Structure 1
Amino acid sequence: MELELQSLALRHPAARPNAAPALGPLNLRVVAGEQVAVIGPSGAGKTSLLLGLGCALRPAQGGLRLGGQDPWALPRPALQRLRGQLFLAPQTPPLPPRQRVVTAVLAGRLPQLGLWASLASLFHPRELPAAHQALAAFDLADKLFERVDRLSGGERQRVGLARALMAPARLWLIDEPLSALDPTRARQALDTLTGQARQRGVTLVASLHQVELALARFPRVMGLRQGQLVFDLPAADVTPAHLAALYAQHEHELQAAPPLPDGPPAAPPPPVMMQCR
């Protein structure tokens, strides 16, 4: 799905109507199937950008086009259909604690299900092989029937990401997907997301605090600071000077990840048995 922002400005969801925008105005274009990392200090507007792209935050000014359509000019049924083509993953997945993992993952299918099929899936989950495969991609196959409240924070985060593999979406908007993961799991999760997006032709926009991973795993990197676009460059062209300017007075954000391996990440140890719309 192609994205186009035309002088787009967004207010924080909790801001008053007359408050200054938290983001923008921004002008940029992302072509269909492109993969973009958004980096910057806390409070830069990264989450607001993803909410705006996900049609969860109405523009304060300017325009947004998704796949050639202005979402806020569409009738409500058409807007809902467009939202069904988007997958927005918040940093903390909204997973009910007593829910089974299989039900949580299959919730990614909800945009393509009718009301009765959605309700029936709560009691009799369908497409178990697909859910198992999505979880296996994040090394969680053994958690298929586990309760969400028995998972660690990192496991819950990976369950939220596994939903993307079930979603009938053309655009994945992923907010801080690695915050609860150790370095090895972070690399594996990011490799899975980027690899699956590439295989499916899905456009991927992800916000990250792990600067080295953003530069290593994404061909295009955008830097946001105080709601403004500081740079928009191929990852290979981002220099230490760009990062120093981006994170000035925010040095704690630049905690370097451990050195990246030259090849694919090492195989993990054997597991321990124990929407968007």
Structure 2
Amino acid sequence: MHLSLSQVSAAHPAARRGAAPALRGITLSLRPGEQAALIGPSGAGKTTLLQVAAAALRPASGRVDLDGIDPWTLPVRALQRLRGRLLLAPQVPPLPPRQRVITSVLAARLPAMGFWTSLRSLFYPVDIPGAHAALERFDLAEKLFERVDRLSGGERQRVGLARALLAPANLWLVDEPLSALDPRRAEQAIDALVDEARARGATLLASLHQVDVALARFTRVIGLRDGALFFDLPAAEVTAERLRQLYAQHEDELRAPAAQDTSAPGPKPVVMHCR
């Protein structure tokens, strides 16, 4: 799917009336099948940009185009069908706590299911092998029939990412997918996302707090600061000096150590939520 934003400004959904916009005049375009990382300090507007791109948040000004269509000109049903071609994966996946993992993962296929098939799948999952294979990519196959509320934070995050592998979407918008994962799990997760998106020809835009991962696994890196586009460059051209400028007064985030995997027992780390 082709994604285009033209002079887009938007307020964060939780912003108070009169607050400064979270996005200010953003213009960028992703070709079908292109993969890009979105980086920047906390409060830069990364989450808001993903929500606007997913037609989940209407911009205050500017235009969003998805395959040449402005989603906000569509009737409600047509907008819902268009959203069915998108995957917006939030940092904390909204998984019902009493639901089984297999049901949560297969929910990614709901946009392509009819009413009766989706209802039946709540009681008799329609594709157990598919769900198992998706979870296996994230080393969670043994949790297939576990209840969500019995998973750790890191495991829940990986379940949310496994849904991408089953979704009938050709635009993936993924927000901080590695925030609760240790380096080994993070490498496994980003490899699964990038490789599967490339194999399907899906467009992928992922916000990342881990700058080293963004530079290593993506050929294009987009830097946001204070709601504005700071740079949009091939990864090879993102120099240490550019990163210092992007994270000026936020140097601790640029040097932040890798997260501890919250799938492990014991005290849980603080997870940073970047907007």
Q: TM-score, normalised by structure 2?
A: 0.91
1:227 counterpart = 2:218: no
Q: Residue 151 of structure 2 corresponds to which residue in structure 1?
A: 151
Q: Residue 213 of structure 2 corresponds to which residue in structure 1?
A: 213
Matched to 1:238, the amino acid is V
Q: Residue 182 of structure 1 corresponds to which residue in structure 2?
A: 182
Structure 2 residue matching 1:68: 3-state secondary structure: coil
**CA distance in structure 2 between the partners assigned to 1:255 and 1:128 by the alignment:** 42
Q: Residue 55 of structure 1 corresponds to which residue in structure 2?
A: 55
Q: Residue 65 of structure 2 corresponds to which residue in structure 1?
A: 65
Question: Structure 2: 5+ residue runs without aligned partners?
Answer: 259-275
For the aligned residue pairs, the C-alpha RMSD in angstroms reads 1.2
CA contact (8 A) 1:98 1:149 kept: yes
The alpha-carbon deviation at position 149 of structure 1 amounts to 1.3
Q: TM-score, normalised by structure 1?
A: 0.91
The alpha-carbon deviation at position 20 of structure 1 amounts to 3.5
The alpha-carbon deviation at position 64 of structure 1 amounts to 0.5
Mark the CA change 1:68 to 1:17 in structure 2 (over 3 Å): closer, same or farther: farther
CA contact (8 A) 1:212 1:257 kept: no
- Would you say how many aligned residue pairs link Structure 1 and Structure 2? 258
CA offsets per residue over residues 104-123 of structure 1, 9 Å max, x none?
10010011112232222111
Moved more, 220-229 or 13-22: 13-22
Q: Residue 111 of structure 1 corresponds to which residue in structure 2?
A: 111
Write the mapping of 1:60-99 to structure 2, written as runs, cut at 5 A. Answer: 60-99=60-99
Moved more, 111-120 or 217-226: 111-120
The alpha-carbon deviation at position 17 of structure 1 amounts to 5.7
**CA distance in structure 2 between the partners assigned to 1:87 and 1:199 by the alignment:** 16
Q: Residue 10 of structure 1 corresponds to which residue in structure 2?
A: 10
**CA distance in structure 2 between the partners assigned to 1:18 and 1:152 by the alignment:** 38
**CA distance in structure 1 between the partners assigned to 2:17 and 2:31 by the alignment:** 32
Structure 2 residue matching 1:209: 3-state secondary structure: coil
**CA distance in structure 1 between the partners assigned to 2:203 and 2:224 by the alignment:** 20
CA offsets per residue over residues 201-236 of structure 1, 9 Å max, x none?
000000000000000000100000110110000000
1:44 counterpart = 2:80: no
Structure 1 residue matching 2:98: 3-state secondary structure: coil
Matched to 1:106, the amino acid is L
The alpha-carbon deviation at position 125 of structure 1 amounts to 1.0
Structure 2 residue matching 1:231: 3-state secondary structure: strand
Structure 2 residue matching 1:178: 3-state secondary structure: coil
Moved more, 151-160 or 193-202: 151-160
Question: Structure 1: 5+ residue runs without aligned partners?
Answer: 259-277
Matched to 1:20, the amino acid is A
**CA distance in structure 1 between the partners assigned to 2:119 and 2:18 by the alignment:** 40
The alpha-carbon deviation at position 19 of structure 1 amounts to 4.1
Structure 1 residue matching 2:59: 3-state secondary structure: coil
Q: Residue 239 of structure 1 corresponds to which residue in structure 2?
A: 239
Q: Residue 25 of structure 2 corresponds to which residue in structure 1?
A: 25
**CA distance in structure 2 between the partners assigned to 1:253 and 1:26 by the alignment:** 23
